[in-house]
Amino acid sequence: MPSTRKPARFAVLTLALFLGAVFAPPSAGDAGAAEIRAVRIGVHADVTRFVLESDERLPYKIFTLQNPYRIVIDTPEVTWKAASPRAPQSTGLIATYRYGVFQPGISRVVLPANVPVRVKSHFRLTPSAKSGHRIVLDLEETDPGRFAQDSAAMASPDWAAYVANRAMTPRPAAPKPAAPTDKRKVVVIDPGHGGPDPGGIGVSGVYEKVVVLKAAKIFKQMLEKTGRYRVVLTRDRDIYISLRKRYEVAEQVNADLFISLHADKIGRRDVRGLSVYTLSERASDKEAAALARKENKADIIAGADLSDYSADVSSILIDLAQNSTNEDSWGFAETLVGELKHDVRLLRNTHRFAGFAVLKSPNVPSVLVELGYLSNRRDEKLLTNPEYFRTVGRGLTKAIDRYFKNQETLSRT
């Protein structure tokens, strides 16, 4: 397919603005890891060139995914020092880029493409006077059939050796159920998004994945301080966790309650306030349905291959076989709204419902809490203030106390 794009223009994506070390887009990787120092995208007559510059020579693997079209680059886990794009924008064939830790030991860059593309060539460049080590991809436009044919993975010669060596590295232990002697209730808190999936990006450049992780750690500390709860986080750093894995964590630890945290961005900047969602195959309103569709795409955004997922996981509308669990979820949501309404700005019709994949556990009562909207400047300011999280945390603790007290009363009767 011939290209109609203008030649000889080399563009560098707009640098992100940061709101300080705590709420800025985080580095992906550990302190001793290699550093990604720059990202460049160049538009030429027949190709779009993507350059990933690092301070060390990196093995890499490249593959493509469709529905939608994406190019994925995996490397060993790195620290990200390059600036991030402040908002999605198009440069040549690439719509934007996302990055983060995809799993322990692997960092991922995801390039959403405007059209079907193929990797015409890929190679590494050694350091020069002005640049460090570079991974270079030249991308060209193609047709859907050719895209499907060219889906096989490509890799540097040293990638296989890295994978083999990584297989020898011990993996972090999965969370385990509490000991039989531990009578505390188990609450799983799920900071949404993470890794290559930033979630919403605020009007000043704040990342949703950072906001909700900060909130989750504060809520964990407050709940555990009571001595009544054991709190498990689905993630405690900036790393990707699949939607399926998030609710499976709750199943693994025999959780009594699952709370997923988000801070979304929408098209209307005047909308603000906290809201609570529970699972339903029929959405309460258009806004709830749109939010569920967006959140259910998290695995796609992170560059996950869903081809091995069963239909019920890939589906947006979820088969509801857990009526009693849904009733408990509804009860906790109503209790939470009742506790928060005195101290926190709430969205109208605060308790809403839609087909959120992350709330699918058949055994664990689950809610999704939108802490506010990063698209609203006043909410964004609150969402970068730990005191706001402590205010929400106090209401959350009271609501959880009331919920389990009610459950105990019901069990007796």
Given this model, what pLDDT does residue 189 score?
97
DSSP state of 60: -
Q: Hey, what CATH topology would domain 9-167 get?
A: Immunoglobulin-like (2.60.40)
Given this model, what pLDDT does residue 180 score?
81
Four-way CATH pick for 185-412: 2.40.30.10, 3.20.20.140, 1.25.40.10, 3.40.630.40: 3.40.630.40
User: Tokens 């309460």 sit at which residue?
Assistant: 284
Q: Is 226 buried (19+), middle (13-18) or exposed (0-12) by CB count in 10 A?
A: exposed
Task: Give the model confidence (pLDDT) of 22-41 as tens digits.
Answer: 455 665 555 568 999 999 99
The residue length of the chain stands at 413
Task: Give the model confidence (pLDDT) of 102-140 as tens digits.
Answer: 999 999 999 998 889 999 999 999 999 999 999 999 999
Given this model, what pLDDT does residue 293 score?
77
CA-closest candidate to residue 254, choices 174, 177, 360: 177
Report the relative pairing of strands 117-125 and 366-370 from DSSP bridges: unpaired
Given this model, what pLDDT does residue 27 score?
58
For the chain, which residues make up each domain, given as ranges?
9-167, 185-412
3-class secondary structure, 378: helix
Given this model, what pLDDT does residue 20 score?
41
> If you write DSSP's letter for every residue of 236-291 in order, what string do you get?
SSSB---HHHHHHHHHHTT-SEEEEEE----S-TT---EEEEEE-SS-SSHHHHHH
Given this model, what pLDDT does residue 255 score?
95
Taking 50 as the pLDDT cut, the residues of the chain under it are 1-22, 308-321
Q: Which of left, alpha, beta for 19 (phi over 0: left; psi -120 to 50: alpha)?
A: alpha
Given this model, what pLDDT does residue 336 score?
96
Buried b (16+ CB within 10 A) or exposed e, 161-180: ebbeeeeeeeeeeebeebee
Given this model, what pLDDT does residue 88 score?
54
Given this model, what pLDDT does residue 218 score?
98
CA 275, CA 265: separation in Å to the nearest integer? 13
